[in-house]
A and B are shown apart, each in its own frame.
Chain A
Amino acid sequence: MVAYLTHHAQSLVGSIGRLARAPFATALTVLVIGLALALPLALGLFVSNAMSATGGFSGAVDVSVYFRPEVTLARVEELARTARARPGVAGIEVISSAEALKEFQQYSGFGAAVQALGANPLPNVLHVRPTAAASTPADLDALRHFLSSWPEVDLVQADAQWVLRFNAILELLRRVLGIAAAFLGVGVLAVIGNTIRLEIQGRRPEIEVVRLVGGSTGFIRRPFLYAGMLYGFGGAVLAWGMVETAVLVLSKPMAALAQLYGSSYSLSGPALAQVGIVLGAGLMLGWLGAWLAAARHLRGIEPRA
């Protein structure tokens, strides 16, 4: 067992040594793999940033309930508690007509005009935010129906259409991400497979000798599998670095842009889980590419006598 593990360690170190002895060729291969892995990572980051920029999916859905002018604030708060008790409701917020007026005067620039009206024209409003799970169009419809059934209610506004579109765009982006990841994954397999194929050809005499002294296919394959995993892992680390650099470069102008829209939104780099997926995918694609190349090309190598 110790000898087995020792040999694994030796294979790994040997593979690292061989890659290091041809730095230019290794760098080129790692660069190609890095670019291929950086693209889906960047796209994934784009999707997750788009989601957080729009406040997330559940935050995007917001049902506004406008009450009749004669309904008192006390009654509105009573009804709000009923709405709060309903399943699928994540949060509620009551905005009194007075609060709404103050906000309107402050931000709209029509303060003077409103003051000229004398009485407050704004109604009491209840914002109902459904949970993410209860944000399907059907659930939203049911919620709207429930809220409209109150006699005190003047108007219920749920922008389900906008939610549907946003949802559809995100879904489309996720599909694009999936397709791009699949294509580029196959590309990574081909690059690693071809690199390992060349390496196998270059070490043909050695493989013949190892076969002759009784080396099993598993033994012969091992250093190539490690080389493949090193290529894949190196490419994944490079992809991570490239995306982090891009985020760093873009974060300042992005923050400036967000500020112009009155938002404190800032670009976020890849999450730990995303980095983990990319590193894992690199390792796995490297292993698989090398395994396929070894299965295909080691078979033909038998010792000559």
Chain B
Amino acid sequence: MILFERVTKRYPNGREALRAASFSIDRGEMVFLTGRSGAGKSTVLKLIAMLERPTRGTVLVNGQNLGTLKSRHLPAYRRTLGVVFQEHRLLDDRPVFDNVALPLVVAGASASEVGKRVRAALDQVGLLGKERMLPNELSVGEQQRVGIARAVVAKPAVLIADEPTGNLDPDLSVEVMKLFKRFQDVGVTVIIATHDLHVVHEFGQRTIVLDDGLIQGSADTPLPSMTATR
């Protein structure tokens, strides 16, 4: 599903965020990316979302080599992804419904289809009935769930999340992770970058550990020595 082959990413300031990183993630897998800040977690997600292009190496997503993806096909590719951020990135001047509907509207879905699927997505994250509210009127946890609803509303094959629990207390964090687990259960490939080792341990999914741009290891459950990097 997702394959990184000796991927190096050097930013214009000279910093190497990834150094010849290779790993693969199977379809329907849920994987945690961990490591201290600056270890390269976000860069992996940016490369998958085509927010950045690799300096060297190959990134394959769903059989598509992102290095050869033409920029005019980029919008269509991005519609196959769902992206969740730490700061939820909602449009503050639009109600919850419009925010969640955006990926469907962009894809040209009909109004009835948009209504049906937005309500389904809001139902999944437990926010049905708040669709008319503005993001600012919601709690931080609710805002994050709106962001997740927006990421999954178009039924993406891959869901990536960058520190989705960074602003949440432990109870809310577990709740959000359970939500991600439910999407994995229905066949979505889920990749979560987090340094929240508490939830990593709790969920016991495969974990890829990054340190200074290098893959330190990959294990079905993180070893104490790997998690000690924090």
Contact = CB atoms under 8 A, between A and B. Distances in A.
Interface string A1-40: 0111011000000000000000000000000000000000
Given A4-B108, A210-B106, A213-B106, A304 B91 contact: no
Given A7-B108, A213-B79, A305 B102 contact: no
A215 B106 contact: yes
B106 A206 contact: no
Interface in B69-118: 75-79, 81, 83, 85, 89-91, 102-103, 105-111
Given A305-B42, A305-B49, A213 B150 contact: yes
Nearest to A4: B108
A146 interface: no
A290 to B, nearest CB: 20
A302 B49 CA distance: 12
Contacts of B90: 209
B214 to A, nearest CB: 21
A303 interface: yes
A8 to B, nearest CB: 11
A262 B90 CA distance: 73
How would you classify the secondary structure of chain A's contact residues: helix, strand, loop or mixed? Answer: helix
A12 to B, nearest CB: 15
A215 B51 contact: no
Interface in A172-215: 205-206, 208-215
B45 interface: yes
A216 interface: yes
Contacts of A303: 49, 51
B162 interface: yes
How would you classify the secondary structure of chain B's contact residues: helix, strand, loop or mixed? Answer: mixed
Contacts of B42: 305
Interface string A129-141: 0000000000000
B109 A3 contact: yes
Interface string B26-52: 000000000000000010011001011
Contacts of A214: 75-79, 81, 103, 106-107
Interface centre among A7, A212, A219, A304 (most CB of B within 10 A): A212
Contacts of B102: 209-210, 213, 215
Interface residues of B, number: 29
B45 A7 contact: no
Interface in A44-91: none
A3 B83 CA distance: 24
Given A214-B106, A305-B46, A6 B111 contact: yes
Contacts of B108: 3-4, 7
Nearest to B90: A209
A153 B51 CA distance: 91
A305 B85 contact: yes
Interface centre among A6, A206, A208, A215 (most CB of B within 10 A): A215
Interface of B: 42, 45-46, 49, 51-52, 75-79, 81, 83, 85, 89-91, 102-103, 105-111, 150, 154, 162
Query: What 6 A-B pairs are tightest by C-beta distance, nearest first?
Result: A214-B79, A214-B78, A213-B103, A215-B106, A216-B75, A3-B110
Interface of A: 2-4, 6-7, 205-206, 208-217, 219, 302-305
21 contacts: A2-B110, A3-B110, A6-B110, A7-B105, A7-B108, A209-B90, A209-B91, A209-B102, A211-B78, A212-B51, A213-B83, A213-B150, A214-B77, A214-B78, A214-B81, A215-B102, A215-B106, A216-B75, A219-B106, A303-B51, A305-B45
